[in-house]
């Protein structure tokens, strides 16, 4: 019986194989635009007029509505940034900072927007050391008013609207104000975040904002209102960005800082500036890559790793093969070693970006890589010519019908930042002073090495891994992607680009594919579940020191949009709940 059944199954498979099935459905009315690829396992969301991908579906819908109502991707990107401060408080923010990459269609220009936090003028190198010169990693370092750098998010989001948008700042703020004032329905994701983050109860203003009057947790389905945050956003809508940096909101921030030994002053806020920078650029297999320059380390080292890997026939090896993964790991080791030494705020130190992203330097590194034997971290030193954001950074990507693209990665550093809410404002503050190197011979609290280029200095911007990445072809934007994940942002972005450009995956399969990560020190290749045990065994035979990732959420969460053949594609990485891509028709 079993044998007969097997014969029948073989016959059925043979018959199906003989049928010429298309690998895609062709768009009605167009013979050249594939919609769905039946060779794929995962499928992106589609749209005809634009696309949004973020870590919160409600906020993605707000951005999609902006596009549907005539706003461009830059308007939608700003509205999304403000909305996430309401809907995704663990990472979305107006009390933190980050980096944006814009492609402005009417200028045919890609611009890097640096709205990273800066150290207050009173910040000093020794501020987290005791009298004996020892680092004190206590509550003051992580979870106090003193742990906050000067926020840049409001300035950054306002800057892109005023310079490149089509709507007013008040118009893009309106959805976030409504959500904060009228409330949002508590999702499973938000309820779990708040239940887990009990340290928020240590700050009176945080306790009042995030928990019920009796101190109990919000339940799924209940309405969560943020009236103080609604006031702050309304002040910014009415008075402009000056409300936050010079006016009514600034006064409340400084009063709370003064009452709790914080460092931020009115002068610090008034002197904060957004910086437009030239993106760091590279190429891969005929595609152009643009990404964030220093003080982001991400763009420089994504390009450096791609340059190294371009010297090897990865496609012939196959995605997730032991040889391909081994080469990626070795490229990561060299790049993260260089990151530890050279990256810093370019307004304060010289960063050898041109050398780090050069093809010749990458070719020299590639010549040192053996296919058969992994190099230990001790055998790799920064070339002769680190710093962390928590996993709760967030990224979103937006594209519109004109070809404008926005990729924004911004952060509070830890989940819910310092845990400090400024009294009367609803603003949850960052703890990004922890992104500075405390001393060049001391790894930070997360094991990453830095250098004197990233020591605490007044008004300096700390090095970051955050880096949205834009892929173009023939001067036309193709793909925008980015991720949270601290040091893993760089490796996640690099693997997304390889999966699409080298291995031919659609953006959904490319996002879902299991990832690896090596950051030079500690000497461990972190492996996500889903990679074959046989492949892992082969990597161990090559000398790779394997560490199995316990949580997929730690391996990043890519938010990607793509334009191809007249259609827009989007996909939100499933590694985190509540994310969603929304297409615009």
Under 8 Å between Cβ of 44 and 511: no
Q: What is the DSSP string of 202-242?
A: GSHHHHHHHS-TTSPPPPTT-EE--HHHHHHHHHHHHH-TH
Distance CA 63, CA 568 (A): 15
Q: How far is CA 50 from the centre of its chain?
A: 21
Structure tokens at 582: 């929304």
Q: Which two tokens stand for residue 22?
A: 């298309």
Please classify residue 391 by burial: count the beta carbons closer than 10 Å to its beta carbon, then call 0-12 exposed, 13-18 middle and 19+ buried.
buried
Which one of the listed residues 187, 393, 411, 425 is annotated catalytic?
A: 393
**Are the beta carbons of 117 and 134 closer than 8 angstroms?**
no
Helix, strand or coil, per DSSP, at residue 115: strand
Residue 258 to residue 121: CA distance in whole angstroms = 14
**Are the C-beta atoms of 466 and 449 separated by less than 8 Å?**
no
Residue 110 bears catalytic tag = no
With a CB cutoff of 8 Å and minimum separation 6, the contacts of 186 are: 218, 219, 220, 221, 222, 223, 224
Distance, CA of 531 to CA of 533 (rounded, Å) = 6
Q: DSSP letters along 255-295, please?
A: HHHHHTT----HHHHHT---EEEPPEEEEETTEEEEE--TT
Q: Determine contact, residues 540/525, Cβ cutoff 8 Å.
A: no
**Residues 86, 550: Cα–Cα separation, whole Å:** 29
What positions carry a catalytic annotation?
Answer: 393
């Amino acid at each position: 019986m079993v044998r007969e059944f097997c014969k029948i199954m073989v016959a059925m498979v043979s018959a199906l194989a003989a049928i010429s099935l298309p690998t895609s459905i062709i768009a009605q009315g167009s013979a050249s635009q594939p919609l769905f690829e039946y060779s794929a396992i995962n499928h992106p969301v589609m749209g005809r007029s634009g696309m949004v991908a973020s870590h919160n579906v409600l906020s993605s819908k707000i951005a999609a509505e902006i596009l549907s109502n005539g706003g461009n991707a830059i308007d939608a990107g700003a509205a999304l940034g403000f909305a996430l401060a309401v809907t995704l408080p663990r990472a979305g923010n107006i009390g933190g900072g980050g980096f944006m990459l814009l492609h402005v269609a009417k200028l045919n220009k890609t611009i890097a927007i640096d709205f990273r936090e800066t150290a207050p003028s009173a910040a000093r190198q020794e501020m987290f050391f005791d009298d004996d010169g020892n680092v004190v990693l206590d509550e003051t370092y992580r979870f106090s008013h003193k742990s906050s750098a000067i926020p840049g998010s409001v300035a950054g989001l306002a800057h892109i609207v005023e310079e490149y948008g089509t709507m007013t700042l008040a118009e893009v703020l309106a959805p976030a104000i409504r959500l904060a004032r009228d409330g949002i329905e508590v999702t499973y994701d938000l309820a779990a975040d708040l239940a887990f983050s009990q340290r928020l109860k240590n700050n009176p203003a945080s306790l009042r904002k995030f928990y019920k009057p009796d101190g109990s947790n919000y339940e799924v389905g209940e309405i969560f209102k943020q009236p103080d945050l609604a006031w702050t956003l309304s002040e910014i809508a009415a008075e402009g960005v000056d409300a936050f940096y010079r006016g009514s909101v600034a006064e409340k921030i400084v009063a709370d800082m003064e009452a709790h030994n914080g460092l931020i002053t009115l002068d610090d806020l008034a002197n904060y500036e957004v910086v437009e920078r030239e993106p760091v650029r590279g190429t891969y297999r005929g595609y152009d890559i643009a990404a964030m320059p220093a003080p982001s380390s991400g763009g420089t080292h994504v390009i450096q790793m791609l340059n190294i890997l371009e010297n090897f026939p990865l496609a012939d090896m196959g995605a997730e093969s032991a040889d391909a993964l081994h080469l990626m790991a070795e490229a990561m080791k060299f790049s993260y070693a260089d990151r530890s030494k050279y990256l810093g705020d370019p307004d304060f130190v010289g960063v050898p970006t041109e050398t780090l992203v050069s093809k010749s330097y990458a070719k020299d590194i590639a010549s040192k890589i053996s296919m058969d034997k992994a190099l230990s971290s001790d055998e790799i030193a920064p070339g002769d010519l680190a710093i962390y954001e928590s996993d709760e950074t967030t990224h979103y990507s937006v594209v519109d019908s004109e070809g404008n693209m926005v990729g924004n990665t911004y952060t509070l550093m830890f989940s819910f930042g310092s845990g400090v809410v400024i009294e009367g404002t609803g603003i949850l503050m960052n703890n990004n002073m922890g992104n500075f190197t405390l001393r060049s011979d001391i790894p930070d609290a997360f094991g990453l090495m830095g250098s004197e280029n990233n020591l605490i200095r007044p008004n300096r911007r700390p090095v970051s891994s955050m880096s949205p990445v834009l892929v173009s072809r023939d001067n036309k934007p193709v793909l925008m992607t980015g991720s949270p994940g601290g040091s893993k942002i760089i490796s996640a972005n690099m693997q997304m680009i390889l999966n699409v450009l080298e291995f031919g995956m659609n953006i959904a399969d490319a996002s879902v594919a299991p990832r690896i990560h090596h950051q030079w020190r500690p000497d461990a290749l972190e492996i996500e579940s889903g990679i074959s045990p046989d492949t892992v065994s082969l990597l161990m035979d090559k000398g790779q020191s394997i560490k199995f990732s316990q949580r997929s959420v730690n391996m990043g969460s890519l938010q990607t949009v793509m334009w191809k053949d007249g259609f827009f594609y989007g996909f939100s990485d499933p590694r985190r709940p509540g994310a969603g891509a929304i297409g615009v028709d």
